[in-house]
C-alpha cells in the first residue's frame, strides 16, 4: 500500500494549491481527482470557462461601438457560437494542462478516481473502469468542492432546463433565456448571451440582484444591465418550471401575490451551489457532515478527526476559488508547524460583468446593523479622464471608514477593471489603512485607480478634487 504524508481529495483551486504548498514544505504529497482533468469546477466548468465566454462576447459587443472610435468595419459581423465554445475549451485544456505540469514539477502523485474513506488514514480510489486501490495518509485534506443547487420542484433536464455547466456549451444562442436567480453566476452568464443577441429575463426571490453585496452596487449594476436590455423580476418567488418541446415556461409570484408567466426556449437555474460530499464516505472516518453536506471544521480548518482537514466550498464561508486557495495554503502550513492566519473579512468578492463589480470588507447595511458609526465617500467613474478616454463611464468607487479612527472598513466598486482594482483595496485594508492614508498615495494619471484615491478624499472631510 502506498503511503503519504498528505493526501488531498479534490484538485480544484483549493486542492491543487494546497498540494503544491505541502510539497514545497517537504511533505510526500498525493492528490485524488475523480475526473480525467485537474482543476475542479473552477477550472473546468466555472471561473475560467465563464471568463473566456465573457471575454469573447465582450469583444463582439465592442464591435457594435467601433464606429464611435473612428473604426469602420465593413461587411456583416456574426457570432459563431461553436467556435467561441471551442476557444473556451482550448483555454480550459491549456489551464488544466498547466495544473498537471505543476503537479509533476512538485513531484506530487496524482490518482485518477473517486476517493472515499476506508478509515481515518486510508482512502480507497475507485477508477472509472471499476478497479480500485487503497492508499494510506498521515494527514488528509478534503477539497471536494460544490455542485449547482436547484429547487425541489424543478426537474433539470440539462437540455432546456439547465445549470451553469450546460450554459457553457449550448448548441445555439437562446432566443429568450429565463434565468432563475440573480446572483453572480446567473448575471454573468446572462450578460454573455445578452451580448450575443438573446432576450434575457432574470427572476430573483430577493428585492435586488447580487443581494450579498452592497445595495449601491446592486442598484448601479441593475441600471446598467437594464440599459443593455436585460429584464429583471425581483421579489418574485418561482412557483413552477415546465418544459414542452422547445418551450420552457416559468411561473413566479410577485410581491402582490400575482402570478407572472415567462416563456423562453432555455431556463438557467442559478440559485447557488451546495457542498459536494457524495461518495466520500466521511462516516467511515468519523468525520461530521451536516444535513446540507457541509463538513464541520474549527478555526484551523480541522474536522472532529485530528488528522483530517477540509477546505473550500465544502466548509463554511463564501464559495470562492481564492478563498479555497488561501485555506489550502493555511492547512499545509499548519501541518508544518507554522501559524498562518486568514482574515475572512478581507476576502474580496467579484462579479465579472462589464462593468465589473468588486468589494471587500463591510457593506453599509452590515455597518448599520452592527451599530458602527461610519463615513462614506464616493467618486463616479464618469469624472475620470481615463474613463472618458476609454468610453467606460459607468460606475463608482465607495469607501466606508470608521467615523472616529478613519480606518477603512469597506471598499465597494463597480466599473471598468474593478476586478483588478480591488487588490489595492485589499492591500490597504490588510495594513489597516485609513481613508486619509489612501488619499495621500500617488496614483498614476490617467488611470481607473484614481477613482479609489478620489473616493478616499471624499471620505476624508469631503475633499474629492475632480467633482
Q: What residues are annotated to the active site?
A: 445
Q: CB neighbours of 329 closer than 8 A, spacing ≥ 6?
A: 17, 18, 21, 340
Question: What distance, in Å, lies between the first and last C-alpha atoms of the chain?
Answer: 69
Decide: 423 and 356 in contact? Cβ < 8 Å. Answer: no
Helix, strand, coil percentages for the chain (3-state, nearest 5): 35, 25, 40
**HSE value, Cβ hemisphere, 13 Å, CA-based, for 89:** 10
Q: What is the DSSP letter of 434?
A: B
- Provide the β-strand partners of residue 289: 295
Residue 219 is inside which H or E element, if any?
A: helix 215-228
Least Cα distance to 455 among 438, 442, 432 occurs for 438
Instruction: Give dist(CA 112, CA 128) in Å, integer.
Output: 8
Instruction: Give dist(CA 211, CA 364) in Å, integer.
Output: 13
Least Cα distance to 421 among 459, 389, 456 occurs for 456
Which SS3 state, helix, strand or coil, does residue 201 take?
strand
Residue bearing cell 444535513: 291
**Could you write out the three-class secondary structure of 124-157?**
EEECCCCCEEEEEEEEEEECCCEEECCCCCCCCC
Instruction: Give dist(CA 399, CA 439) in Å, integer.
Output: 11
Residue 409 is inside which H or E element, if any?
A: strand 408-415
Least Cα distance to 412 among 435, 378, 385 occurs for 378
Which SS3 state, helix, strand or coil, does residue 361 take?
strand
In the β-sheet with 374-380, what is the strand arrangement from edge to edge? 349-351, 356-361, 408-415, 396-402, 374-380
Instruction: Give dist(CA 72, CA 68) in Å, integer.
Output: 9
Residue bearing cell 446567473: 186
Peptide bond into 355 cis (omega under 30): yes
Amino acid at each position: 500500500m502506498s503511503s503519504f504524508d498528505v493526501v488531498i481529495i479534490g484538485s480544484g483551486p483549493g486542492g491543487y494549491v494546497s498540494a503544491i504548498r505541502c510539497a514545497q514544505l517537504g511533505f510526500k504529497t498525493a492528490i485524488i481527482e475523480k475526473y480525467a482533468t485537474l482543476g475542479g469546477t473552477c477550472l473546468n466548468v466555472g471561473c475560467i470557462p465563464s471568463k473566456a465566454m465573457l471575454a469573447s462576447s465582450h469583444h463582439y459587443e465592442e464591435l457594435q461601438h467601433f464606429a464611435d472610435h473612428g473604426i469602420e468595419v465593413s461587411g456583416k459581423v456574426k457570432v459563431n457560437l461553436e467556435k467561441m465554445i471551442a476557444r473556451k475549451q482550448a483555454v480550459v485544456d491549456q489551464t488544466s494542462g498547466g495544473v498537471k505540469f505543476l503537479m509533476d514539477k512538485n513531484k506530487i502523485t496524482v490518482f485518477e478516481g473517486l476517493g472515499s474513506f476506508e478509515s481515518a488514514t486510508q482512502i480507497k480510489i475507485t477508477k472509472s473502469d471499476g478497479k480500485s486501490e487503497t492508499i494510506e495518509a498521515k494527514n488528509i485534506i478534503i477539497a471536494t468542492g460544490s455542485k449547482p443547487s436547484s429547487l425541489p420542484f424543478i426537474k433539470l433536464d440539462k437540455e432546456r432546463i439547465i445549470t451553469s455547466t450546460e450554459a457553457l456549451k449550448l448548441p445555439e444562442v437562446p432566443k429568450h433565456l429565463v434565468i432563475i436567480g440573480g446572483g453572480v453566476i446567473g448575471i454573468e452568464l446572462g450578460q454573455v448571451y445578452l451580448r450575443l443577441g438573446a432576450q434575457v429575463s432574470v427572476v430573483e426571490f430577493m428585492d435586488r440582484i447580487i443581494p450579498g453585496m452592497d445595495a449601491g452596487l446592486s442598484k448601479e449594476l441593475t441600471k446598467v444591465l437594464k440599459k443593455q436590455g436585460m429584464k429583471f423580476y425581483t421579489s418574485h418567488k418561482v412557483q413552477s418550471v415546465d418544459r414542452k418541446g422547445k418551450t420552457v415556461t416559468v411561473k413566479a409570484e410577485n410581491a402582490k401575490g400575482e402570478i407572472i408567466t415567462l416563456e423562453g426556449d432555455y431556463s438557467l437555474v442559478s440559485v447557488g451551489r451546495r457542498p459536494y460530499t457524495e461518495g466520500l464516505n466521511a462516516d467511515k472516518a468519523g468525520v461530521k457532515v451536516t444535513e446540507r453536506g457541509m463538513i464541520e471544521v474549527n478555526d484551523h480548518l480541522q474536522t472532529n478527526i485530528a488528522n483530517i482537514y477540509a477546505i473550500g466550498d465544502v466548509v463554511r464561508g463564501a464559495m470562492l476559488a481564492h478563498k479555497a486557495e488561501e485555506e489550502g495554503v493555511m492547512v499545509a502550513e499548519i501541518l508544518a508547524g507554522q501559524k498562518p492566519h486568514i482574515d475572512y473579512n478581507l476576502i474580496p468578492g467579484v462579479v465579472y460583468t462589464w462593468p465589473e463589480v468588486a468589494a471587500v470588507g463591510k457593506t453599509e447595511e452590515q455597518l448599520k446593523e452592527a451599530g458602527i458609526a461610519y463615513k462614506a465617500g464616493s467618486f463616479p467613474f464618469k469624472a475620470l479622464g481615463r474613463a472618458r478616454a476609454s468610453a467606460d463611464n459607468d460606475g463608482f468607487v465607495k469607501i466606508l471608514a470608521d467615523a472616529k479612527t478613519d480606518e477603512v472598513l469597506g471598499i465597494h466598486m463597480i466599473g471598468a477593471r474593478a476586478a483588478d482594482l480591488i487588490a489595492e483595496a485589499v492591500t490597504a485594508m490588510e495594513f489597516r489603512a485609513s481613508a486619509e492614508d489612501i488619499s495621500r498615495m500617488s496614483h498614476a494619471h490617467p488611470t481607473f485607480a484614481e477613482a479609489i484615491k478620489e473616493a478616499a478624499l471624499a471620505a476624508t472631510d469631503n475633499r474629492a478634487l475632480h467633482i
